[in-house]
């Protein structure tokens, strides 16, 4: 079985600062990490590999330094890694990105037929959740989004059964392989790589493909040219006026703590107590 996992290298959004004047993101010195959602996809792929054997190939589009993100995935146990990197990819939106990645998956499947493509549910920098579905559509793969569990994989009959988070419940879906799965967060826990893998990853020669190697013929569909998305305005969120208050309490029982906190809330919002009492009496 051959699994391709698509990842993105993103700035650690927990450490991002917004420039106070221009409202642009200050990336300088902000560490680049593997998009956290993608790691759930990788772990799920590794679990399938543990169970059924086969190979996990990592795929990423990005600048040359995104190699570090791919090496990290190698340390977790992925077998191979391809970085699609070319100046002409710069400025790509989700449409152009899914076009380039789909082309690269096609190239990878020429080396060995691909059974499942995994992506994270979305990235933490773009938050669109469009690239995974975009790849599936372009490659004509069955699309399974927001998957929380892979219930069954039947390689004899090429079928897969998954649980998918939906509004108000869980859907159980069965479809044909090959397919593309976008994995939901919190569904598994990434393994801790052994030392041997860390050293192997540090040495691993990540394969770098330019647009030709990735099999891209139509340059109008990649990079800025292939991106119809327009950023019309960038603005920072307005800071909220209300502030969280820290309240230290020494009370012995949870009941005392709760009463104390409620009392403090009522002191700050006198109308609240009146409203609640009024409702209670109705």
Q: Which one, 20 or 228, has the nearer CB to another protein?
A: 20
Q: Which one, 74 or 183, has the nearer CB to another protein?
A: 74
Asked if 198 interacts with another protein (CB under 8 A), we say: yes
Phi, psi of 279 (to 5 degrees): -65, -40
Q: How many CA atoms lie within 13 A of 273 on its CB side?
A: 10
Least Å distance, CB 65 to another protein, is 9
- Stretch of 47-55, 117-125, 132-140, 186-194 lying at the interface with another protein (CB under 8 A): 186-194
Asked if 203 interacts with another protein (CB under 8 A), we say: yes
- The interface mask with another protein, positions 1-30, x = CB under 8 A, is ----------------x--xx------xx-
Residue from 173, 193, 213, 257 binding another protein (CB under 8 A): 193
Q: Which one, 12 or 275, has the nearer CB to another protein?
A: 12
* SS3 of 59-115: EEECCHHHHHHHHHHHHHCCCEEEEECCHHHCCCCHHHHHHHHHHHHHHHHHHCCCC
- The interface mask with another protein, positions 126-155, x = CB under 8 A, is ------------------------------
Q: Compute CA 196 distance to the chain's CA centroid, rounded to the nearest angstrom.
A: 27
Query: Total residues contacting another protein (rule CB under 8 A)?
Result: 16
Asked if 192 interacts with another protein (CB under 8 A), we say: yes
Q: Which one, 75 or 148, has the nearer CB to another protein?
A: 75
CA–CA separation, 85 and 63 (whole Å): 6
CA–CA separation, 145 and 164 (whole Å): 7
Q: Which one, 31 or 91, has the nearer CB to another protein?
A: 31
* Residue 90 DSSP symbol: T
Report the candidate in 100, 39, 45 with the shortest Cα–Cα distance to residue 70. 39
Q: How many CA atoms lie within 13 A of 269 on its CB side?
A: 9
Beta bridge partners of residue 118, listed in sequence order:
5, 181
Site residues (vs another protein, CB under 8 A): 17, 20-21, 28-29, 31, 192-196, 198-199, 201-203
């Amino acid at each position: 079985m051959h699994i391709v996992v698509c990842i993105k290298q993103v700035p650690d959004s927990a450490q991002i600062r917004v420039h106070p004047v221009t409202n642009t993101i200050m990336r300088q010195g902000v560490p680049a990490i593997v998009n956290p959602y993608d790691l759930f996809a990788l772990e799920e792929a590794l679990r399938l590999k543990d169970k059924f054997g086969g190979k996990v190939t990592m795929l990423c589009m990005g600048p040359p330094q995104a190699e570090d993100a791919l090496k990290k995935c190698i340390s977790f146990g992925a077998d191979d890694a391809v970085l699609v990197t070319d100046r002409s990819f710069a400025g790509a939106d989700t449409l152009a990105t899914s076009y380039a990645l789909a082309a690269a998956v096609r190239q990878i499947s020429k080396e060995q037929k691909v059974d499942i493509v995994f992506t994270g549910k979305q990235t933490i920098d773009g938050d669109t959740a469009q690239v995974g579905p975009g790849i599936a559509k372009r490659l004509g793969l069955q699309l399974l989004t927001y998957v929380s569990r892979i219930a069954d994989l039947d390689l004899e009959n090429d079928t897969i059964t998954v649980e998918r988070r939906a509004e108000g419940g869980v859907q159980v879906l069965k479809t044909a392989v090959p397919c593309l799965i976008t994995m939901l967060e919190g569904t598994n826990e990434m393994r801790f790589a052994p030392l041997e893998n860390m050293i192997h990853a540090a040495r691993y020669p990540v394969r770098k493909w330019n647009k030709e190697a990735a099999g891209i013929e139509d340059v109008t569909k990649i990079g800025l040219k292939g991106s119809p998305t327009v950023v019309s305005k960038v603005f920072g969120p307005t800071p909220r006026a209300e502030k969280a208050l820290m309240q230290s309490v020494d009370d012995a029982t949870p009941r005392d703590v709760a009463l104390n906190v409620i009392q403090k809330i009522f002191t700050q919002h006198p109308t609240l107590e009146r409203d609640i009492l009024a409702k209670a009496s109705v």
